[in-house]
Structures are given as structure tokens and as C-alpha cells.
Copies of this chain bind each other. A is one copy, B any other.
Amino acid sequence: MKIVKNKNNRGGVRLGAGRKSGSGLYGEETKVIRVPRSSLGNIKKYLNLSRINNIDEISLALKETTYNPLVLFEHKVPAGFPSPADDHVEKRLDLNEYLIKKSDATFFVKIKGDSMIDASINDGDIVIIDRSMQAKVGDIVLASVDGNFTIKTLSKYKLKPRLLPANEKYKPIEIDDNTQFELWGVVTGAVRKFK
């Protein structure tokens, strides 16, 4: 009986070989903990979000839900507003529910600057971004271009993506093969506080 050896005799003691420290999923030391089964899903979701977005700390603020089913007057008549008593449709409205479809694929960005002013997105507004949606031409998207984040309308030009600002002061951004370009998500809504 023969002992089959490796045909090749490569490798050997190599200084500095091996996987590098910090090359893991989280880039840092991990610990083992025991958690109740019903919390597993939430915790994994949390870890996933923080990993993807490269966030140091997410404070799991577990305040009481502020959900207050409030009243919505929905106006049906184009010119002016009808008497609420006669013509409005009353509805309960939860703003989270109204504006967010997939909560675990959604995050918010606060707008700085006026480049989307013609799309009624102003400095200080908060836009709602859905990472899970497939962006189409015409959508307002969050993208990174050469390392900078920007919110623009997605367009196409000569088979390449093109980002259009909604303000005449700014020029479209053309994306070529030398441009780092990544779509982060589709802007699905916006909120503004006046007071």
C-alpha cells in the first residue's frame, strides 16, 4: 500500500501569511451573546443596517410609539377648499405608514443645498430613501459619484447614466467609465418642517 503524497510541494512556513485581522464582516472584534429567539430577527436587521451603512452606533431608541391616528381632510375640489363638513373625506393618517413601504430598506437623508429646488426639495428637507427599489429613468435617486453623495434625477445619455439637478444653476453630471458611480436608492418621499 502506498501513501499518496501531495503531488505538489508548494507552500510552507510563510511569515505574515494568513487572513488579516479586521477583515471580517464587521471589521472589529466580535463577542458571543445569548438572546431570546423572538428578538433575533430585529437584532440581525439592526446589525445588517449598521454594517451596510458603515455606521458606528445606532441607538435603539425604544421610545413609546408616537403613533396618533390623526385626521386627514382630503380635498376633492380643485379650486379652493370645500367646507370640511360637507366635502372632506376623513381618514386616519400615520406618517410613517404613509411614507415608508419597506422599513428595513429605508433610511433618511437631510438635504443641504438647493440643487433640487425645482423638484420642491429644499435645504433642510428630509428625504426618504428606499434601497430596495429598482431605479428607473426619471426617478430621483441617491447616488455616489466619485465618492460624493448627491441627490439627482436619474437620466440616460448615450447608454450611460446621467444625473440631472433640478435647478438651472447646476449642470448635469455625466457618468463615464472613469467615474465611480453607485446607486444607493430611490427617493420615495420628502418631508419638511416649517416651524
Contact = CB atoms under 8 A, between A and B. Distances in A.
A114 to B, nearest CB: 10
Given A75-B109, A99-B95, A189-B194, A84 B46 contact: no
Contact of A188 (B25, B190, B193): B193
Contact of A72 (B75, B91, B92, B108): B108
Could you say which of A35, A83, A91 has the most chain B C-beta atoms within 10 Å of its C-beta? Answer: A35
A126 B73 CA distance: 9
B194 A74 contact: no
Given A58-B62, A59-B38, A107 B71 contact: yes
A17 interface: no
A176 interface: no
Interface string A32-66: 11111111111111110110011111111111111
Tally of this chain's copies: 2
Interface in A82-125: 82-85, 90-100, 103-104, 106-113, 117, 120-122
B82 A148 contact: yes
A65 B97 contact: yes
Nearest to A188: B195
A66 B63 contact: no
Contact of A39 (B32, B47, B81, B82): B47
B28 A109 contact: no
A12 interface: no
8 contacts: A29-B36, A33-B43, A59-B91, A67-B67, A73-B109, A95-B100, A95-B191, A188-B193
A43 B49 contact: no
